[in-house]
Chain A
Amino acid sequence: MNGTPTSTIFLVLRRLRTPLIVLIVIFSVSVLGLTLMPGPPDPNGGSMPRLSFFHATYFISYTATTIGFGEIPYAFSEQQRLWVTFCIYLSVIGWAYTLGTVFAMLQDKNFLNAVAAQRFARQVRHLREPFYLICGYGEAGHLICQALDELGYRAVVIERDEAKVGDLELQSYSADMPALCADAGQPDTLILAGLTSRYCRGVIALTNDDSTNLAVAIAARLLAPSLHALCRAEHAETAANMASFGTRHIINPFEKFGEYMALALHSPAAYNLLLWLTGLPGTTVTRHREPPEGKWVLCGYGTFGRVMTEALENAGLPVTIIDRAAPLAATHSWIKGDGTGGEALRAAGIADAVGIVAATASDVNNLSTVVTARELNPKLFTVLRQNHVANRALFDAFESDFAMVPAEIVAHECIAILTTPLLAPFLAFVRQADDAWAETLLNDLTGRFGWDVPTVWSVSLNISQAPSVYRLLMRNAAELKLGELLRTPVTDRPPLACVPLLLLREGDPPRLLPGLEEPIRLGDQLLLVGSETAHKDLGLTLFNSHTLKFVLTGQDFPSGLVWEWLAARRQVRDA
C-alpha cells in the first residue's frame, strides 16, 4: 500500500473476479445440462417434458447451496440423476473455491491495511472538534495522549509500529483516538490523518527517527503553515534544519535537560517553580535536592553527556569524564574505561566528588554505575539518565536526585506549549530572575495550592474568549480592576483561588505578577495559575453577563424585558 488507500470495494471486486466467473460458469453449465437431459417416462406413454430453464435454475440453486429440497417438479429420470450427481460435485468445488478466496482475502495484510486506513480516514473526517495530530506513539506520545485526554482534547495518532497501535487501542481513554499504522513521513498519510483539516490545532512529531520528524515538520510548514508544529530533534543538525524553515517549537530532550540542570545549579527555586508549573496534569511534584557545588564525574560522553558537561562547566564546576573513547576537546579531564566498574570510578576521584552523572544510552549500565558510585561515596548527588519509561520501577527504587527521562521531558514541554502559550514567556522570566524572588514566589504559590500540579491557563480579554467583559467595557467606559474580576460567583464573592502570573498588553512591556489593583483593558492577555474550580468559575464570569454583574456588584439583577422594566420602575420610585 503506498500512501493513498486503495478503495476497499475495488480491491474486493478485483480479487473476486476469478471466483465469480468460475461460479457463473459452473452454474450455467449445470442449468444448461439439466434442461437438455430427457425427462422420465410418462405413465400415459411417451416421456415427460424436459426441465425448463426456470425449473432447472430453481433446482440447481437449492442443490448448489446444499439446501436440497429433493427432486422437483417430478421424480427425475436416470439421465437427469446422472447429470445432477456431476453438478453436485462441480458446485461444491465452485463454492469451496469462492469461499476460500473470500476468507483468504479477509485475512490478507494488504486488504486489512486498506480497510483500516479507510476507517481511520472516515473517523478523522467525522471529527468535529479540535484535535492534535501526534506522529509516533512512543513513550512521550503515550504521556502526551494521556495528558491531552485529561485536558479534554482529542488526538489522532500515526505510529509505524503495529504493536504500539494495538497498545493504544487497549488504553482506556475517555475519548476515542483514531490511530493508523503508517509512516508519518509520508505527506499523504499526514493529510489522511487530518493535517489540512480545519479542526487540526497542532502537529506533534515525536518519532524516534529524526528524519521522519523533519519530514513531518516540512510537511506541516508547507501544507498547513498556520498550525503549531512541535518537533522532537535529538541531533543538533536536525534542529538547525528545522529552525531554518521556521519550525516554531523544536524540542531536544537532552538540550532541555541541560537547561534544567543549568537552572537548578543557578537557581534551585526557579527550577522547582518551573517543574511545578509544567508538570503533567494530575501528578504531584516533589521538591528536589539542590545540586551541590564541587567536583563532578560524568559517565558516557554521548549527545547527552556533552550537554551535561557544558551545563556543569558553565556553572564553573570541574567535570571528569569516564568513557571508552576520548572526548573531542582535549581540555576535558578524561579517564578511559567503563563507569560500571569501581576501578574507573576510583581513578576519576569518586571519593572526593560531590556528584555523578550516568549518561549512557543503557539503563542497566547507568544504574550499575550509580549503585557502585554510591557504595564508594554515599553522599553523592546522582543524575541518572533513564532511557525507557518501562524501567521506572528500578529507577524509583534507587531514588536518584535527578532522573532524566527523555519521554517525560518532551511530554512536559509539549503540554506546556500547547495548552498555555503564555507560559513560555513567563518561564523565560523565571529563568533569568534571581533565586530569592523565585524562592518567595514558589513558597507563596505552593503554600496556597500545595505541591500537586496546578491548573495553568491563559485568557485573552476579547470578544471570543470573554464576551461579557467585552460587552461591559464597550458599553460603559467604566474602569475594571483585575481584582474585581477574580472573584468567585457565590455569596460574599470570595477571591478566586488563582494568581495572575503575567499580563501582556500590546504596546506595554509584560507585567510580571500584576497586582489586583491593575486596571484591565480589552485585548489584554492573562496567564493564571490556580485550582481547576477557579478556572471554571472564571470561565463562567467571562462568558455570562449576569455572572459578571454579580461578581462585580454582589447583586442579582433581574433578566428579561419585563423584569428589567419592573426593576427600573421600582428604582425610580425608590429614588
Chain B
Amino acid sequence: MNLEKVIFGFFIVLAATLNFGFVIGDIERPELHNVYEMAAALIVSLIATVLKFGDRTQIGAIHLATSLVADLQLLAAAMVWGYAEHVANTGLTPSTMSSIVSLSGGALFANVISVVILIAETIMQRR
C-alpha cells in the first residue's frame, strides 16, 4: 500500500462527495444548501488540483484538467453567492440559488470524471 496513493484517492473522492452533498436537494431552496459544505468542497477541490501538479503522463494531464474545471465552476458559484449577499444585496433569491447550485452541479460532473479516471487507472494497473 502506498500512502501517497491513499492521500491522492482520498482527496479526489472527498472532493466529489462534498460536491455531491452540496448539490443534492431542491435547486432553488437556500436552506437545503449549506455554505460550509460549499466552502469545504471548494477547498478540497483546490488541494486535489495541487496534488495533481507535475504529473507528465497523459492520464495525469486529464486529471489536472478535470480538477481545474471543477475549481473554476466552484469558484464561479462562490462568487455568485458573495455577489448576491454582499454586492447586490438581494439575498439568496430562488434564481441566484439555482445558478449557484447548477454551477456546483457542473463541478460535480467534472469531479465524477476525475473519480472515473481514478478507477480506470487503478483497474489498468492490476496490482
Give the B-binding residues of A (Cβ under 8 A): 7, 10-11, 13-17, 20-21, 24-25, 28, 31-32, 35, 52-55, 57
Whether the Cβ atoms of A52 and B47 lie closer than 8 Å is: no
Whether the Cβ atoms of B39 and A17 lie closer than 8 Å is: no
Whether the Cβ atoms of B53 and A53 lie closer than 8 Å is: no
Residues of B within 8 A of A31 (CB): 39
* Also in contact, A32 and B47, with CB within 8 A (given A7-B56, A14-B54, A17-B53): no
Whether the Cβ atoms of B50 and A53 lie closer than 8 Å is: no
Whether the Cβ atoms of A17 and B50 lie closer than 8 Å is: yes
Residues of A within 8 A of B36 (CB): 32, 35
B35, CB-defined interface residue at 8 Å: yes
Residues of B within 8 A of A16 (CB): 53
Chain A binding surface, main DSSP class: helix
B51, CB-defined interface residue at 8 Å: yes
Residues of B within 8 A of A21 (CB): 47, 50-51
Residues of A within 8 A of B53 (CB): 13-14, 16-17, 20
Please, how many angstroms separate the alpha-carbon atoms of A32 and B39 in the complex?
8
Q: Which residue of A lies closest to B86 (CB)?
A: A54
The listed residue (B35, B39, B56) touching A10 by CB distance below 8 A is B56
Q: Give chain B nearest CB distance to A500 CB in angstroms.
A: 60
B115, CB-defined interface residue at 8 Å: no
Whether the Cβ atoms of A13 and B82 lie closer than 8 Å is: no
Please, how many angstroms separate the alpha-carbon atoms of A57 and B82 in the complex?
10
Whether the Cβ atoms of A17 and B51 lie closer than 8 Å is: yes
B24, CB-defined interface residue at 8 Å: no
Residues of A within 8 A of B39 (CB): 28, 31-32, 53
Whether the Cβ atoms of B47 and A25 lie closer than 8 Å is: yes
B116, CB-defined interface residue at 8 Å: no
Q: Which residue of B lies closest to A31 (CB)?
A: B39
Residues of B within 8 A of A15 (CB): 54
Please, how many angstroms separate the alpha-carbon atoms of A446 and B56 in the complex?
65
Known contacts A14-B54, A25-B43, A53-B82; can you find 12 more A-B pairs with CB under 8 A?
Answer: A10-B56, A11-B54, A13-B53, A17-B51, A21-B47, A24-B50, A28-B39, A28-B43, A31-B39, A52-B35, A52-B85, A54-B85
B78, CB-defined interface residue at 8 Å: yes
Please, how many angstroms separate the alpha-carbon atoms of A130 and B56 in the complex?
35
Q: Give chain B nearest CB distance to A33 CB in angstroms.
A: 12
Can you identify 7 A-B contacts, CB atoms within 8 angstroms? Answer: A13-B54, A20-B53, A21-B50, A28-B39, A28-B43, A52-B35, A53-B82
